Amino acid sequence: MRVLGLETSCDETGIALYDSERGLLAHRVYSQIALHAEYGGVVPELASRDHVRKALPLIHEVLNEAGLSVNELDGIAYTSGPGLVGALLVGACLGRSLAWALDIPAVGVHHMEGHLLAPMLEDDVPEFPFIALLVSGGHTQLVRVDGIGRYELLGESLDDAAGEAFDKAAKMMGLPYPGGPALSKLADSGDSTRFKFPRPMTDRPGLDFSFSGLKTQVRTTILACAVDGVLSDTDKADIAACFQAAVVDTLVIKCKRALQQTGVKRLIIAGGVGANKRLREQLRTATEAMGGAVYYPRPELCTDNGAMIAYAGTRRLLAGQQEDLAVAVVPRWPMTSLPAVDEQAGA
Ligand code: ATP
Ligand code: MG
Ligand code: FE
């Protein structure tokens, strides 16, 4: 089955073609970062309009790269939530109407299920059950996964998501938007032991997170180091390194706890912060020391993309799930409410 995937939930237009026999055929991501940079954050109306401009040209590009015509598609998957309502509507209207015109099934995909299943696009595919660490711009969750649509939320952030904390800390340090990747790069040259940053909520039982206190820590450290309001390059790099180490250590401690608590051996990481090099390395060391294994998508499939939506949609279409003719999006949508997919279907 050949499925076109459309991701338009926020500020990336992601388009991909997935073939259930041959794997990922082509994928393209257009990022709107430059468009939103001058506002320091995503402007919803501008995002919707840019998806309108970019989606069709990107569909042509992926079809060309795969050497397929639109008539050779067997299904269409689009992100139907959670996300910005206008941005979601662009992908949903386009996907639903294209499927109608081609007389093929369409399915709406949960964006976080897309992230969660992204490791399945790699050669080394994790078997169920596994624990998923979802770390993105809007979510920080630990989920027990017993199959597609069989999700149990074990813990989540009570305030800022990990990616959001990275972006806010970066902004305070004057790094360009969106700051997560820039902060992480700066941290490479810093001393992660210079300042004592807390590992929030690791001193008590449970699997929830809280990252907003680390922002305050960054602010007070900046104030303590700045001379006439200016931070030296060394100070900046050291603050970045200490902040990153605090977030990564906290995530690693909670992942180990989740594996111990459930007795599950396999861990997957997904979502934008999953691209973080230090997090990937430390989770590998930690899971291997426990006799387990960690799986993650290549960095470009950690952040938003159409491939993960095409993959999740394929699994659900193969299981017989599809939308009626209405165009529906769900801006707020708990992943645990998704229907389970029969283990045998779509394997
Ligand atoms: P959600 O998936 O929760 O709706 P989103 O789609 O905006 O949110 P993603 O695209 O999955 O989030 O991830 C973007 C986030 O990942 C941003 O907060 C960004 O700063 C962060 N990020 C990306 N690369 C890195 C990195 N190398 N280190 C740390 N953070 C990173
Ligand atoms: Mg984004
Ligand atoms: Fe995302």
Residue pLDDT, tens place only, 255-307? 999 999 999 999 999 999 999 999 999 999 999 999 999 999 999 999 999 99
Cα distance from N-terminal residue to C-terminal residue, the chain? 12
Q: State the pLDDT confidence band at 91, using cuts at 50, 70 and 90.
A: very high
Q: What percent of the chain has pLDDT over 70?
A: 99
**159 among annotated binding-site residues:** no
pLDDT at 334 over 70: yes
Q: State the pLDDT confidence band at 345, using cuts at 50, 70 and 90.
A: low
Q: Is the CB of 139 under 6 A from ligand 1?
A: yes
Q: Is the CB of 167 under 6 A from ligand 1?
A: yes
Ligand closest to Cα of 167 equals: 1
**138 among annotated binding-site residues:** yes
The number of the ligand 1 atom at minimal distance from the alpha carbon of 180 is 20
Torsion of Cα atoms, 155 then 159 then 165 then 167, to 10°: 120
Q: What is the pLDDT of residue 69?
A: 98
**Mean pLDDT in residue range 177-183:** 93
Q: Is the CB of 47 under 6 A from ligand 1?
A: no
**Mean pLDDT in residue range 231-251:** 98
**Mean pLDDT in residue range 208-225:** 97
**51 among annotated binding-site residues:** no
**Mean pLDDT in residue range 61-74:** 98
The number of the ligand 1 atom at minimal distance from the alpha carbon of 178 is 20
**71 among annotated binding-site residues:** no
Closest among 32, 18, 26, 95 to 304, alpha carbons compared: 32
Helix (H, G, I), strand (E, B) or coil at 89: helix
The residue whose C-alpha atom lies closest to atom 7 belonging to ligand 1 is 137
The residue whose C-alpha atom lies closest to atom 20 belonging to ligand 1 is 180
* CA atoms within a 13 Å half-sphere pointing along the CA-CB vector of 12: 22
Residues 330 and 340: their CA atoms lie apart, in Å, by 18
Q: What is the pLDDT of residue 342?
A: 83
Ion ligand 2 neighbours (CB, 5 A) are 10-12, 304
Q: CB atoms < 10 A from the CB of 60, how many?
A: 11
Q: State the pLDDT confidence band at 178, using cuts at 50, 70 and 90.
A: confident
**Mean pLDDT in residue range 319-343:** 95
CB proximity list for 154: less than 8 A, separation 6 or greater: 131, 142, 143, 144, 207, 258, 261, 262
The residue whose C-alpha atom lies closest to atom 16 belonging to ligand 1 is 272
Average pLDDT score, the chain: 97
Q: State the pLDDT confidence band at 177, using cuts at 50, 70 and 90.
A: confident
How far away, in angstroms, is 301 Cα from ligand 1 center?
A: 11
How far away, in angstroms, is 16 Cα from ligand 2 center?
A: 17
* DSSP H helices in 80-208: 85-102, 111-117, 162-172, 179-187
